[in-house]
Amino acid sequence: DTAVSQTPKYLVTQMGNDKSIKCEQNLGHDTMYWYKQDSKKFLKIMFSYNNKELIINETVPNRFSPKSPDKAHLNLHINSLELGDSAVYFCASSQDPPAMYGYTFGSGTRLTVV
Amino acid sequence: EDKVVQSPLSLVVHEGDTVTLNCSYEVTNFRSLLWYKQEKKAPTFLFMLTSSGIEKKSGRLSSILDKKELSSILNITATQTGDSAIYLCAAFQGGSEKLVFGKGTKLTVNP
Q: How far apart are CA A80 and CA A98, in angstroms?
A: 33
Residue A51: φ, ψ to 5°: 50, 50
Partnered with residue A113 across adjacent β-strands are A13
What's the pLDDT tens digit per position in B51-104?
899 999 999 999 999 999 999 999 999 999 999 999 999 999 887 778 899 999
Closest chain B C-alpha to A7 CA, distance in angstroms: 14
CB contact under 8 A, A98 and B88: no
Q: Which residues of B touch A33 (CB under 8 A)?
A: 98
Contact (Cβ atoms closer than 8 angstroms) between residue A76 and residue A88: no
Half-sphere exposure of A109 (CA within 13 A, CB side): 25
CB contact under 8 A, B99 and A103: yes
pLDDT tens-digit profile of B89-110? 999 988 777 889 999 999 999 9
Domain that residue B81 falls in: 3-110
Contact check, Cβ <8 Å, A43/B43: yes
Q: Which residue of B has its CA nearest to A39?
A: B103
Q: Answer yes or no: is pLDDT of A1 > 70.
A: no
Domains of chain A: 4-113 (2.60.40.10)
Predicted confidence (pLDDT) per residue in A76-94, tens digit? 999 999 999 999 999 999 9
Residues on chain A touching B100 (C-beta within 8 angstroms): 45
Mean confidence (pLDDT) of chain A: 91
CATH number of the structural domain spanning residue B79: 2.60.40.10
DSSP chain B: --EEEEE-SEEEEETT--EEEEEEEE-TTEEEEEEEEESSSS-EEEEEE-STT--EEETTEEEEEETTTTEEEEEE-S--GGG-EEEEEEEEETTTTEEEE---EEEEEE-
Total domains in the fold of chain B: 1
Greater confidence (A58 vs A64) lies with A64
- Sort out which chain B residues have CB atoms less than 8 A from A10's CB and list them: none
**Is-contact B65 A4, C-beta < 8 A?**
no
